[in-house]
Structure formats: structure tokens, C-alpha cells
Structure 1
Amino acid sequence: MKKILSVIMLGVAMFTFAQDKVINYNQLPQNSQQFVNKYFGAKQVGSVLLDDDFFSKEYKVYLANGTKVEFDGDGSWKEVDGNRNTIPTGFVPAKITNYVKRSFPNTKIIKVEKDNNSIEAKLNNGLEVKFDRNGNFVKIDD
């Protein structure tokens, strides 16, 4: 019984300490800072949060215009969410941006998210277009 209680208390303690912490922009990994500077400009940064839960790190950058940019612990981008506004796409594989321009000529990308296996682009018409890691079209969700 004591072991079970100890495990539960450890879990609660880890959950309690796994909260976002406000950090300075210059505490972001260098490649994250370069990404923000290149595509948004450092002057647009409103706040930066670090989510460190003992198992993984994640950085969240909130821009003045409402855009959120998420980075993994290594500083690689994971998600850019324009909060219904168009986002820059220079970091998105050209295969994806070309597909969107060709297939949906009057739409813009407002969110892009990547994981180990896929990249998903959300368009301002409500569609979500999924691609494999190499930028090949997989499917459309609406």
C-alpha cells in the first residue's frame, strides 16, 4: 500500500511541476530564435513559454498578432498557428505549398503542424490537408 501511495504522490508531484514557465526570448534554442527572426521578426514576440515536464521540453512563442509557434526541445518547429490569420510558408516544404496553390488557388494556409510521420496544413476555407513527411499528398479532412 505504501508503494502505491508513493507512486501516486510522485505522479501528482510531476504533474504539479509540469507547468508552462515564462522565459526570455533569448532563452529559446538558437535555431528557434533564427526561425522566429526569419519568418516573423523578433519585435513581434509577445511572450515565450517553456513546458518542461521531465520527459520532454516544448517551447511556445506567442506573437503580438495572435500567432503561436511551437518548438520541440531541440528547437525545431512543430506547429505554427495563425489563429485564423494567414501564416508565412517559407519553412513549409515547397511540395506542400505548391499543392495547396494548385489545388486551392483562392485559399491561404492558416496553420501547419508536423509530427514524426506527417505534416498537416489547415486552410482558411476550413479544410485540413494532410501530407506524408516527404510532402506527398495523403488526404483531405473537412
Structure 2
Amino acid sequence: MKKLIMAILLIMATATAAHAAFDKYTIDRSNLPQAAQDMLQEYFPKAKVSMIKIDKHLLKKTDYDVKLVNGTKIEFNNAGKWTSVDCKTREVPQGL
């Protein structure tokens, strides 16, 4: 029974570590798809990027999570189209 539990824990730890290896963090906007870069330039031209998380999945699907210095969080899909915008206490830009 102990061997079974240890094997399950080892598999879970390996899967977690493997999933983390697919994530990449950067602050360079050029790592985003062109559509995402254009959206940021149009609606948040002066905002500085705090972090970009590039989340690669096993089936070649990639999601992008962008966090700006002012606290705004924007999520993009594989094609660079925004899926979520959270401006915290600020107003979301009118065009969105």
C-alpha cells in the first residue's frame, strides 16, 4: 500500500514539474502574437508590461497572460485575441 501511495505521489510531482516546464515568463511584448501587440498598442499605449506568461499546453495551444504595471490583467488566446480584461479599479477602455 505504501508503494502504491508513493508511486501516485511521484507521478503527480512529475506531472506538475512537467507542466511548469511549458510556461515561460517575459516582459518583451514582441513575444506576443501580432494581434495582441496591436491591441495593447491601441488601448494601452503608455502602459508598461510587468509580466507576460506564455502558457504552452501539450496540444500546441498557447495562452498569453499579460499583467501591466498599473495592475491590469489581459488574457489572450493562441491567435492573439483577448479573452479577458480586468482593469481592477480603472475603467475598461471604451472600444473593448
RMSD: 2.6
Cα deviation, residue 63, structure 1? 1.5
1:44 corresponds to which of 41, 44, 47: 47
* Alpha-carbon distance in structure 1 between the residues aligned to 2:27 and 2:49: 11
CA contact (8 A) 1:31 1:75 kept: yes
In the superposition, relative to structure 1, how do residues 33 and 16 fare at CA in structure 2: closer, same or farther (>3 Å)? closer
CA contact (8 A) 1:17 1:53 kept: no
* Alpha-carbon distance in structure 2 between the residues aligned to 1:64 and 1:13: 28
In the superposition, relative to structure 1, how do residues 33 and 76 fare at CA in structure 2: closer, same or farther (>3 Å)? same
* TM-score normalised by length of structure 1: 0.51
Aligned to 1:86: 91
3-state DSSP of counterpart to 2:39: helix
Aligned to 2:65: 60
* Alpha-carbon distance in structure 1 between the residues aligned to 2:20 and 2:73: 24
Higher helix share: 2
* TM-score normalised by length of structure 2: 0.71
* 1:29 maps onto 2:46 in alignment: no
User: What amino acid does structure 1 have at the position aligned with 2:67?
Assistant: Y
Identical aligned residues as a percent: 33
CA contact (8 A) 1:18 1:51 kept: yes
What number of residue pairs does the alignment pair up?
Answer: 87
Higher strand share: 1
Which fold has the larger relative contact order, with Cα–Cα distance below 8 Å and residues 6 or more apart in sequence? 2
String of CA shifts for 1:47-97, please: whole Å, max 9, x gaps.
322111324311122122111111011111010000122110303xxxxxx
Cα deviation, residue 27, structure 1? 1.2
CA contact (8 A) 1:70 1:77 kept: yes
Q: Any gaps of 5 or more consecutive residues in structure 2?
A: 1-6
